Amino acid sequence: MILLPASFERQMKMILGQECPAFINSISDAVHHAVRINPKKTRPIAWPNPVPYCSTGYYLNQRPIYTLDPLFHAGVYYVQESSSMFLEQFILQSQKKPLRILDLCAAPGGKSTHLSSLISDDCLLVSNEVIRSRAGVLSENLRKWGNPNVITTCNDPRDFSRLPGFFDIIVVDAPCSGEGLFRRDPSAIEEWSVANTDHCASRQKRILADVWPALAEGGMLIYSTCTFNTAENEDNITWLTEFSPVEAVSLELSEDWGIVTTDANGIPCYRFYPHRVKGEGFFTAAVRKKSAVESVMSQKIKATLPLAGKAEQSLFSGIIENLPLSLLKFEDNILAFPTILLSALDQVKSALRIVHAGIKAGEIKQSSLIPAHDLAVSTIVNHSHLPSVDLSLEQSVSFLKRDDFQLDFKEKGWNLLTYQNHALGWAKNIGNRFNNSYPKEWRIRMSTSEYTGERLAEEARKFPPVSPHS
C-alpha cells in the first residue's frame, strides 16, 4: 500500500466524499500502458484494447522494452498515458476547423504528436517548450512523428503576446503538482505539499494570462493538468472567466468512459480518476474567447527564408512526395514546408525562437545531396522511388545502435533502411561497407547483449502487429 500525505488524503475526501477509499486503493493498483499510433505511417491490425475516446489509442497488456522496438524509433507510435488522449474530443467536437494551433507547454510531445495527427495538412501546429533541453526532446519526437506542418519553438509564454490573435486553438497543458501521477511516479508524492499546489496554481494563472492575447476572437483555449486539487483546476477556470469574456465549450461524453463532469462558473470541466477510468489522473476544460483582438495576420511581414534554387530543387525530385510543399534554404540546409503556411512561418520566425520548422530535407555539398535523417522518418519521403533494404529485427537494432554489421545492397549510394517497411534512416553503400547515417545523439545506448535471437523476438511480440508503411 502506498503511503500518502495526510493533507492530500483530507483534500481528496473533500472532493470525492464516499468514493475516496476506492480512489486511495486505486493508487496502489498496476499502471495501464498505452500507445498512440501514427495514422500517417500505419494502422494497427486487430488490436484488442482501444482507448475509448481516442481513435488511435490502444492499451497494451504488458509493457514492452520500447527501446528495443525499431518501430518506436521510426515514429510509428508514441507511448502516452491514456487519459491525456481525451484531448482529441475537443478537436473533433469543436465546430470550427482550426488554421493555427499552439501547444504552449509541449515537451516531451504527447499532446503535440497527437494534435499533429488530428489536424489537416493546411493547418499549422506551433509546439512550444520554455525549457531549452526539453525543447530538444520535443523537437526530436515531432521530427520522428514526421509531419511537415509543425514548428517547434522555445519561448516563455509572455513572448506569445507578440502574435496577437494568431492562434485558433491554444493548448495549455500546464506544469502542475502531479497528483494524478502518484501511481506512476512515487517521487511525485515526496515532492507534494499544499504550498507547492498553491505555487503551481499561481504559475498557471500567470501562464494563462501571458498567452491569452495570442488567441483569436472565437478561438478555443484548452486547459489541462494531471492533478486533482481544485486550486489548479476549477478555480483557475473560474479565474479565467473573470479575467476575460469567454463562452463554455461542452463535450458529449459516453457514460462508460467513466469521466466525471464538474462546473467552474458555467464552464464544464472533465475529471479523470484512476478508480473510474483505465488511466491516470487528469483534468481538462476549454473556453472560447469572446473579446475582439486585432490579428497579427493582417500585418505584412517580409519573407525571411529564400526558396531553394532550381538545381537544388531538382536533387529532391522523386525523393519527396508530390505534395504542395516549398523547399526553403535555412543556413546549410534545405527545409520542406507547406507552401500555404509560408506567411505564417514568417510571422512565427519574426516573433519567436524556432528550434525546428517543417522537415529538414538535406544538405547540398559540392552539388550533391546528403539526405537528412528527418526526411527518412518523415511522412513526405517517397518510399517507392528510393532504393531500400528491409532489415531483420536484429539488424534493425544494430543499425539503431550504430554497430558494425554486413548488409546486402542492390544499389550503390543512399539507401533507405527499413524495418517492416517503416523507414529507420539512411545508409550510404560505398561498395565493401556502408556509412550509417543514424544520428549519433539518438542511437540506442542500452546494452542489448542479453536481447538477441528468441529473447529479442519475444520482446517484439509483446507489441501487437501494425501494417507496413501505406
Q: Taking CB under 6 A as the rule, does residue 111 contact ligand SAM?
A: yes
- Strands (DSSP E) contained in 74-123 are 77-79, 100-103
Q: How far is CA 101 from CA 98, 109, 257, 268, in A?
A: 7, 14, 27, 22
352 scored as a contact of ligand SAM (CB under 6 A): no
Least distance between ligand SAM and beta carbon 280 (Å): 12
By CB under 6 A, which span of 8-16, 125-133, 192-200, 378-386 interacts with ligand SAM?
125-133
Taking CB under 6 A as the rule, does residue 179 contact ligand SAM? Answer: no
Residue (of 425, 419, 331) closest to 372 by Cα position? 425
Q: Which of 107, 126, 389, 456 binds ligand SAM (CB under 6 A)?
A: 107
Q: Does 57 help bind ligand SAM (rule: CB under 6 A)?
A: no
Using an 8 Å Cβ cutoff, are 280 and 184 in contact?
Answer: yes
Q: 176 an active-site residue? A: no
Cell matching residue 294: 486585432
Selection from 135, 154, 159 nearest residue 211 by Cα:
159
Please pick, from the candidates 75, 110, 164, 358, the single residue that binds ligand SAM as defined by CB under 6 A: 110
Q: How far is the CB of 107 from ligand SAM (least distance, A)?
A: 4
The rounded distance, in Å, linking the Cα atoms of 178 and 189 is 9
Smallest distance, ligand SAM to C-beta of residue 328, A: 28
- CB 378, min distance to ligand SAM, A: 21
Total chain residues near ligand SAM (CB under 6 A): 17
CA distance 470 to 42: 6
106 contacts ligand SAM (rule: CB under 6 A): yes
Query: Cell triple for residue 96?
Result: 470550427
Candidate residues 5, 50, 136, 175; the one interacting with ligand SAM per rule CB under 6 A: 175
Q: Which is nearer to ligand SAM, 155 or 395 (CB)?
A: 155
- Nearest approach, Cβ of residue 453 and ligand SAM (Å): 35
Does residue 127 sit in helix, strand or coil?
strand
Which of 207, 380, 400, 423 touches ligand SAM (CB under 6 A)? 207
**Cβ 106 vs Cβ 83: under 8 Å:** no
Comparing CB distances to ligand SAM, the nearer of 33 and 111 is 111
- In angstroms, give the least distance from the CB of 286 to ligand SAM: 15
Strand ranges (DSSP E) for 130-204?
150-153, 167-173
The answer to whether residue 151 forms part of the interface with ligand SAM (CB under 6 A) is no
Contact 303, 346 (CB under 8 A): yes
Among 54, 123, 226, 269, the one annotated catalytic: 226
Measured CA to CA, the distance from residue 338 to residue 186 in angstroms comes to 43
Contact segment (CB under 6 A) with ligand SAM among 99-107, 192-200, 319-327, 356-364 equals 99-107
Q: Which is nearer to ligand SAM, 356 or 469 (CB)?
A: 356
Verify binding: residue 130, ligand SAM, rule CB under 6 A: yes
Backbone angles phi, psi at 307, to 5 degrees: -70, 145
Which residue in this structure is represented by grid cell 475516446?
53
| Binding residue (CB under 6 A) for ligand SAM from 162, 203, 275, 428 | 203
CA-closest candidate to residue 148, choices 363, 333, 439, 377: 377
Q: Which lies closer to ligand SAM via its Cβ, residue 109 or residue 164?
A: 109
Work out how close the CB of 128 gets to ligand SAM at its nearest, in angstroms, rounded to a whole number: 8
Nearest Cα residue to 467 out of 60, 71, 81: 71
- Exactly one of 44, 157, 164, 338 binds ligand SAM (CB under 6 A); that residue is 157
For residues 451 and 463, what is the distance between their CA atoms, to the nearest angstrom? 16
Q: How many other CB atoms sit within 10 Å of the CB of residue 30?
A: 7
DSSP strand pairing (167-173 vs 100-103): parallel
**CB of 71 or CB of 107, closer to ligand SAM:** 107
Within 106-147, strands assigned E span 124-128
Q: Which is nearer to ligand SAM, 51 or 130 (CB)?
A: 130
By annotation, the residues acting in catalysis are 226
The site for ligand SAM (CB under 6 A) is made up of: 84, 105-111, 129-131, 134, 157, 173, 175, 203, 207
